[in-house]
């Protein structure tokens, strides 16, 4: 369990054809619609771009928790694209304070991997590199403003309700 602090991994079976899932993760507009962000262009490897956090319209409750960061702009770069198999990104996690220049800080790597299955598509997401992010930065992003904290607290509350 020692290396668990460095990465988050999620695997989910989506009951949709591979081509459909690929579009949802590789088309910047589609990506933005479920992630809750507006990108200033199409995904292309190695080209730095901007994402603006916008509350998702689909779920009013989730939209509320995202409101604290609505309008916040963050830097993101596509790392690699292997059509219908893999797309990866780099970004600065918790980089939501407009007064801070995060550009010299370490990034995390986010990898989306797709695999065809008889019932649909397996999607694996890995975000790694957290061990290099200074702890003070993590705590600060977390407590930056009352509103953000309230949103996070609501998230914890929900999280605890699920876990019991």
Binding site for other proteins (CB under 8 A): 5, 8, 10, 12, 14-16, 20-21, 24-25, 30, 33-36, 56, 58-59, 62, 93, 123, 125, 127, 130, 134-136, 138-140, 142-144, 149, 152-153, 155-156, 158-160, 162-164
Measured from the CB atom, the residue of 46 and 163 that comes closer to other proteins is 163
Cα separation values, 38 from 111, 120, 128, Å: 19, 27, 23
| Alpha-carbon dihedral angle through residues 60, 62, 64, 67, given to the nearest 10 degrees | -120
Q: Residue 85 CB, nearest distance to other proteins (Å)?
A: 16
Q: In sequence order, what are the beta bridge partners of 76?
A: 49, 91
Q: How far is the CB of 50 from other proteins (least distance, A)?
A: 19
- State whether the Cα torsion 67-68-74-78 is positive or negative: negative
CB of 31 to other proteins, least distance (A): 9
């Amino acid at each position: 369990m020692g290396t668990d602090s460095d990465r988050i991994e999620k695997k989910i079976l989506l009951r949709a054809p591979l081509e459909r899932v690929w579009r949802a993760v590789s088309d910047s507009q589609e990506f933005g619609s479920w992630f809750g962000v507006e990108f200033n262009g199409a995904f292309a490897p190695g080209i730095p771009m901007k994402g603006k956090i916008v509350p998702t319209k689909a779920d009013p409750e989730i939209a509320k928790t995202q409101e604290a960061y609505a309008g916040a702009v963050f830097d993101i770069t596509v790392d690699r694209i292997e059509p219908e198999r893999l797309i990866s990104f780099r970004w600065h996690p918790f980089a939501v304070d407009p007064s801070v220049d995060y550009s010299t800080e370490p990034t995390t790597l986010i990898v989306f991997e797709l695999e065809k299955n008889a019932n649909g598509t397996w999607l694996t997401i890995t975000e790694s590199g957290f061990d290099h992010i200074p702890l003070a930065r993590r705590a600060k992003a977390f407590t930056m403003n009352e509103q953000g904290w309230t949103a996070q607290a609501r998230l914890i509350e929900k999280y605890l309700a699920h876990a019991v």
